[in-house]
Chain A
Amino acid sequence: MEALTDQDGIKRYLVNINVNGDPYTVIVKANTLLVNLLRDQLDLTGTKKGCELGDCGSCTVLLDGKPVNSCTVLAVEADGRGITTIEGVARSEKLDKIQESFVNNAAVQCGYCTPGMILSAKALLARNPKPTEQEVREAISGNLCRCTGYVNIVKAVLEATGD
């Protein structure tokens, strides 16, 4: 990974990442967190910040298809990898099946946990298209909903399964 040092001796790194299908080269300091790169530099504010300590899952993104908490991952560590944020779930104007199902099942209350919930659910359905209720609960157990809308969230994910 290429690095540049400016006149004041501050080092910046050239990070190559693919976000939602588009390749980017971004310039970040070593201490830039992935969540801040996405929100502040790429304007993808659908990724939320809650605890910022790895506990709540509101900052969940898919890193090479797997859900991770972007508040504990350095942007430089994502060099060469692919990221999906909530903005990349729907293509064009049409909502993804899971999003549609969240709407239909009133699985969104304040909506703060929703991007993370949908990405965790998306990753689950990609590897296991017909999960049991237990498997759905397990897959979203790292995503906390303060509105406690779990019943409808689980229902929404189950309804988006299979064909």
Chain B
Amino acid sequence: MYLPDFDYQSPGSLKEACQILAAFGSRARVLAGGTDLMIKMKHGLLAPDVLVSLKNISQLAGIGYVQGRGVVIGARATHNDLVNSPVLQKKYLSVCEAAHHMANNQIRNVGTVGGNIVNAVPSADLPPILIALNAAVKLVGADGERELPLESFFTGPNRSVIGTDEILSEIVIPDQTSTGSTYMKFGLRRSGALAVVGVAVAVTVAGGVLKEAKIALGAVSPTPMRAVKAEELIRGRAVTDELLEEAGVCAAGECSPISDIRGSKEYRQDMVRVFTRRALRRAINEGHV
């Protein structure tokens, strides 16, 4: 399988990259790890005239803690960079674990967190846990930059609010009041399988009471979604097995999955029930895992 012809640019700064993107509009594409883009181009689903590589923009790499902002993840960080990040391991092991259980080692060495988000695939593994942790994304364009909650980034399958001249530069996980978080992926194999259902939760527990809960679901609606009714149902109530089951039933009713080769709509809804319950239990008992 060969690729069609295209021009390749590897600018050294974000500004220059945005200018190239602005000049070529929809004829240009950003190239990060290429684990999705190369395959779409091989299949002829995309045929950009210009690829703008992020390879030489060093400011997009790295993961660190910034006082007053939180954990800042450069968009070009690979999945294995997340897995191996000491900052994330210490603060949000749940994010390391989500990255660790996706794709396979070769893909994790190349695929980036920015690509996983901008792709806007409903089954993508990183958005649910990042949404549960209130993450924001920074978009840098030719005319300036903006920061918005990741939750409002997606508009549909393969669609988001990003402009053709914009680059996702960083993901920020703000300091938490939550006491625990986790992402549970249900796939048909342990490696290289997309999520049939993905459930991320972040909970704030004090004295056996769920003060606050965030539930974010993947692969069961056109975009990653919050199960807000389930969150409301359990807010302020004492933790019991029955309550967590109720939350699962409620979340299953809120989502709108499709039937496809990986699972029927009904099966996915039932798995949302099961994994919402299990994820809540794990985050309540074990912290950020």
Interface class of chain B by DSSP: loop
Q: How far is the CB of B32 from chain A (nearest CB, A)?
A: 10
- Interface residue total, chain B, C-beta cutoff 8 A: 29
Residue in B4, B8, B107 whose beta carbon sits within 8 Å of that of A74 in the complex: B8
Q: B110 — which chain A residues lie within 8 A by C-beta?
A: 68-69, 72-73
Q: A155 — which chain B residues lie within 8 A by C-beta?
A: none
> Are A31 and B107 in touch, CB under 8 angstroms?
no
> Are A142 and B190 in touch, CB under 8 angstroms?
no
B191 an interface residue at 8 Å Cβ cutoff? yes
Q: How far is the CB of B205 from chain A (nearest CB, A)?
A: 31
> Are B191 and A31 in touch, CB under 8 angstroms?
no
Q: How far is the CA of A57 from the CA of B106 in the complex (A)?
A: 8
Q: How far is the CB of B10 from chain A (nearest CB, A)?
A: 7
> Are B10 and A139 in touch, CB under 8 angstroms?
no
> Are B105 and A141 in touch, CB under 8 angstroms?
yes
Q: How far is the CB of B233 from chain A (nearest CB, A)?
A: 37
Q: B103 — which chain A residues lie within 8 A by C-beta?
A: 142
Residue in A31, A53, A141 whose beta carbon sits within 8 Å of that of B104 in the complex: A141
Q: How far is the CA of A57 from the CA of B191 in the complex (A)?
A: 12
Interface string of A86-128 (1 = CB under 8 A from B): 0000000000000000000000000000000000100000000
Nearest chain B residue, comparing its CB with the CB of A67: B106
> Are A60 and B106 in touch, CB under 8 angstroms?
yes
Q: B1 — which chain A residues lie within 8 A by C-beta?
A: 52-53, 71
Q: A33 — which chain B residues lie within 8 A by C-beta?
A: 2-3, 38
Q: B53 — which chain A residues lie within 8 A by C-beta?
A: 76-77
Q: How far is the CB of A75 from chain B (nearest CB, A)?
A: 10
> Are A54 and B39 in touch, CB under 8 angstroms?
yes
> Are B34 and A74 in touch, CB under 8 angstroms?
yes
> Are B39 and A31 in touch, CB under 8 angstroms?
no
Residue in A53, A55, A76 whose beta carbon sits within 8 Å of that of B8 in the complex: A76
Which residues of A, 4-36, contact B by the 8 Å Cβ criterion? 11, 13, 29-31, 33, 36
Chain A residues engaging chain B, CB cutoff 8 angstroms: 1, 11, 13, 29-31, 33, 36, 52-55, 57, 60, 63, 66-69, 71-74, 76-77, 120, 138-139, 141-142
Q: List 12 A-B contacts (CB under 8 A).
A: A30-B8, A54-B106, A55-B192, A67-B105, A67-B106, A69-B110, A72-B110, A74-B51, A138-B191, A141-B105, A141-B190, A141-B192
